[in-house]
Amino acid sequence: MNTLFVLLDGAEDDPVPEYGGRKPLDVANMPFMRSKATHRGFTDGRGYTHLFLNEFFTGHPPEIARAALEGMGLGLDVRGRTAYRLSPAIIENGMINWSYHAEEFCDRLIPKVEEHMDILKDYDPQIKFFLNGRAVLTMRCDLIPELPSPPVPAPFVEVPGDLGKMVMAVAKDLDGITDYPWGCGRFERQYPPYIERMLAISDSPTSLGVCASLGQEIRLIDDIDDRFPVAREALERTNVFLHMDEVDEYSHQKDPPKKVRILEHIDRKMEEYFSDIDRIVYFVDHGTSSVTGNHIITKVPFWTSFETSIGQDEHVELKDAIPRIMGSQ
């Protein structure tokens, strides 16, 4: 019998003052999840989704740079190339301010990045954009700089080489708005997965890249409502990993009511499509504060709709979570 894994990305949170110190996950009306998945355990969150998922699905932290994983999730060629994750940011007053409202300017940002790609022509650049101007760039070069990463604003660090020239050319044309690189690196060793047969469904190249690196099927589906019927159909033949990235995205926007609404929407869709499914695992990878917009490294919950060897509210090491959850199958 196949299992559905549902990631509520960044669902853990800080206490929210407008909710009397309660968290959005506690406030959200989610009757299906709460009645269906009654067996709860805890494990250790990680700072980013790819760090959590790699260890969750293999028992090991990743040895592959985030940008290379995301490149795989977007279908880019990463073998023998260096990958760079590009995120919309505003460079001003000596700071890098990451933007989670880039929909306001991505129609200007993307053409400018494409216009200045000729600066990188000697490195055979390949680029693919996704949500609101985010992108992955791969090149034939050895430049792997250590650069600040989102979501916390950081002092500006000059990007070396021609890549830095491209970044600043965009910023000059757009009054500080640019796509700033981070998570840079190459494809390295991957570990064998605990679960060999699985389809990953997400709008995020991060999670899709982890699963692609494990040899699993992936489907990039932008609209959250379109993911549920695809997952339902696939469950007839394989295990399914269903990623709800919007929970994290709305947390970064510092919008607690919006986070509550998306959690409630997910619950309604889960009931619509999976009320007769026996094996469901909900899990959380890290906290994302809807108060500050920052990631929170803390213990995170998971819930199963079936009996496992894990005691109620037992804490399990992340590397052991899947073997303990699936051991009863």
The CATH number that applies at residue 302 is: 3.40.720.10
Q: 38 and 92: one domain?
A: no
Give me the pLDDT at residue 329, please: 44
Which of these three, 152, 170, 185, is where a domain ends? 185
Q: Mark whether 79 and 57 lie in a shared domain.
A: no
Residues 195 and 181 in one domain: no
Give percent of the chain with pLDDT exceeding 90: 96
Instruction: Verify that 157 and 220 share a domain, yes or no.
Output: no
CATH of the domain at 115: 3.30.70
Q: Please name which of 96, 100, 103 lies closest in space to residue 168, comparing C-alpha atoms.
A: 96
Q: What is the pLDDT of residue 189?
A: 86
**Using one digit for the tens of pLDDT, what is the confidence trace for 8-39?**
999 999 999 999 999 999 999 999 999 999 99
Could you report how far apart the first and last alpha carbons of the chain are, in Å?
Answer: 8
- Tell me: pLDDT of 303 over 80: yes
Closest CA to 211 of 33, 75, 310: 75
10 Å CB burial of residue 223 (0-12, 13-18, 19+) is exposed
Q: What is the mean pLDDT of the segment spanning 50-75?
A: 95
pTM above 0.85, yes or no: yes
Concatenated DSSP letters of 251-312 = HHTT-HHHHHHHHHHHHHHHHHHHTT-S-EEEE---EE-TTT--EE--EEEEEESS--SSPT
196 and 145 co-located in one domain:
no
- CA quadruple 22, 28, 32, 37: dihedral, nearest 10: -30
Do residues 207 and 295 share a domain?
yes
* Residue numbers of the domain that contains 57: 4-62+190-326
- Mean pLDDT (the chain) is 96
Pick the last residue of a domain from 157, 185, 213. 185
Residues 204 and 181 in one domain: no
Higher pLDDT, 329 or 24: 24
Token representation of residue 136: 């992955």
Q: Are residues 178 and 208 in the same domain?
A: no
Q: Which of 137, 161, 185 is the last residue of a domain?
A: 185
Over 80: is that where the pLDDT of 328 sits? no
pLDDT one-digit tens code per residue, 202-217: 999 999 999 999 999 9
User: Which residues lie across from 42 on neighbouring strands?
Assistant: 301, 315
What is the per-residue pLDDT for 79? 87
Count of domains for the chain: 2
Q: Say whether both 48 and 112 belong to one domain.
A: no
Cα separation, 73 vs 133, whole angstroms: 16
In the prediction, which pLDDT does 311 show?
96
Average pLDDT over residues 152-160: 96
pLDDT at 66: 93
Residue 262 neighbours by CB distance under 10 Å: 23
pLDDT digits (tens, 9 = 90+) for 63-104: 999 999 999 999 998 989 999 999 999 999 999 999 998 999
Do 195 and 179 belong together in one domain? no
Residues 174 and 196 in one domain: no
Rounded to whole angstroms, how far apart are CA atoms 101 and 251? 12
174 and 209: one domain?
no
